[in-house]
Amino acid sequence: MTPSEQLQRYWETTGAGHTFTHPLDAELLSRHVSFEARILDYGCGYGRLAAELAALGYHRVCGVDPSAALVERGLSEHPGLDLRRLAGLPLPFADGEFDAALLFAVLTCVPQERVQRETVAELARVVRPGGVLYLSDVPIQRDEHHQARYRAAAEWAEAYGVFGIEDGGVFRHQDPVRLRALLAEQGFEVAEEHEDPVPTLDGKVVTRLQLVARRRA
């Protein structure tokens, strides 16, 4: 089984039972995205953020995820949401179909460099000129616990910041400089960014990086 196949299997089995904890900053979102906006929640999982957006008054939200198990869970927990299982790229949407896209702790779950680049490029395609990409993810952490995890994965990991957890999951914390460059390469300009502490899947706390970027016209 290839690493990609192992990762896919994880999110159809063990990973599909996780409770995601990466929070939405509703105030930050409201400064850049109107309630009338057509929003794509890419990597929506079981619809946690899509449900929160609906409760806030954003009613034109489409959530997509490659995991059939997570989408099935989402449709069960949040009936009425527009959640779709889309196995891969490209997405079946027109160029510029969305006013905004959310990419929440998704790159953390996609350790492969190629897939990260393809993901951001595809979101650049479906977000209209002047539209917004709200990216929230975990940068490389400096504490010894995480540094030890990165070192332990050095022999097999594609990049520094990749690590495995006890249940078989593989994740990647991001180099912020590379992350900003990746956005710039795909035509996004960062309009606002913040760091704050957030809980993790295993009950710890990390510093996250939020980037709100606007697609150049």
- Does the structure show a pLDDT above 90 at 201? no
Mean pLDDT, the chain, rounded, equals: 96
Q: How many domains, in total, are found in the chain?
A: 1
Q: What is the pLDDT of residue 4?
A: 84
Supply the DSSP string of 68-109, one letter for each residue.
HHHHHHHHHHSTTSEEEE--SSSPSS-TT-EEEEEEES-GGG
Helix (H, G, I), strand (E, B) or coil at 213: strand
Residues of the chain above pLDDT 70, percent: 100
pTM of structure:
0.96
Are 122 and 91 in contact, with CB atoms under 8 Å apart?
yes
Q: 15-67, pLDDT tens digit by residue? A: 999 999 999 999 999 999 999 999 999 999 999 999 999 999 999 999 999 99
* pLDDT, position 13: 96
The domain in which residue 20 lies consists of 3-215
Looking at residue 35, which CATH number applies to its domain?
A: 3.40.50.150
Q: Is the pLDDT of residue 73 over 70?
A: yes
Whether the per-residue pLDDT at 203 is higher than 90: the answer is no
